[in-house]
Structure 1
């Protein structure tokens, strides 16, 4: 029973924490077969008492993962790479469609709905945290 509970907790995309970084609501938007770029979303929360700097991300499922932000300027959509993102103590940063996101490039295998893809969020301090990102058409429902 304890082993089953431990497996359930580690496999859940709802909350994964390591050190001061907590990842919730992690998901990857479904893309057409053969797509070479996908986007990942989540909420990153700094549970510590000092600023936390997110410097990137990595995944064995993709050739490259980077931090990006989409914005609309004068009616034209733009996207730019972000070198890092600072999260204040107790604060959260939301990665969501139309804003900050993980740019997931060159998938190494087919990424299909229902899969969970492990992604590691990297921090300047080296702590980082990993989470299973659920592949689907919308963000996973919040746990009660």
Structure 2
């Protein structure tokens, strides 16, 4: 190979070698995203959706944020000794080819401190933070009941 070809290709090869590969830029898909509107104004709400991983590598949701809420976190409701208990979840893995359901009575997004009242039919964006550093903005619809 002549010198001019090497000096032309070298910068691109160095950049490619220093850039982390991100599973072909494949992202999880989110369907049926909705926020349950409480019957009376409350300082917290809950978000639900189906998160599917069509990618060949595992994915994990490690957080969430929204301009509509002071705080968004992953939670799980469990029945323990006949008592419903909620706990925060730090990592929500989604295996390749699988899906995870965020639904009432189970895994969900806890939405604290809405900055303004939300009405049924309104839409707002909640951004899911992935373990690999990427962000997945998702539009959620406010509803009185599940779709």
- What CA distance in whole angstroms lies between the structure 2 residues aligned with 1:20 and 1:132? 15
Q: Which has the higher strand share?
A: 1
State which structure, 1 or 2, has the greater radius of gyration over its C-alpha atoms: 2
* Deviations, residues 15-36 of structure 1 (Å, cap 9, x unaligned): xxx8321000100001144310
Q: Aligned Cα RMSD in Å?
A: 1.3
**1:137 equivalent in alignment to 2:144:** yes
Which residue of 2 is the match for residue 40 of structure 1? Answer: 47
Which residue of 1 is the match for residue 65 of structure 2? Answer: 58
- What CA distance in whole angstroms lies between the structure 2 residues aligned with 1:63 and 1:71? 25
Q: 4+ residue stretches of structure 1 with deviation over 2 A?
A: none
User: Which ranges in structure 2 are unaligned for 5 or more consecutive residues?
Assistant: 1-24
TM-score (structure 1 length as normaliser): 0.81
Please give the secondary structure, in 2, of the residue aligned with 1:118. strand
> 1:1-144 residue pairs with structure 2 within 5 A?
19-140=26-147
Which structure would you say has the larger RCO, counting Cα contacts within 8 Å and 6 or more residues apart?
Answer: 1
TM-score (structure 2 length as normaliser): 0.80
Q: Which has the higher helix share?
A: 2
Please give the secondary structure, in 2, of the residue aligned with 1:122. strand
- What CA distance in whole angstroms lies between the structure 2 residues aligned with 1:35 and 1:43? 25
Number of positions where the alignment pairs a residue of Structure 1 with one of Structure 2: 123
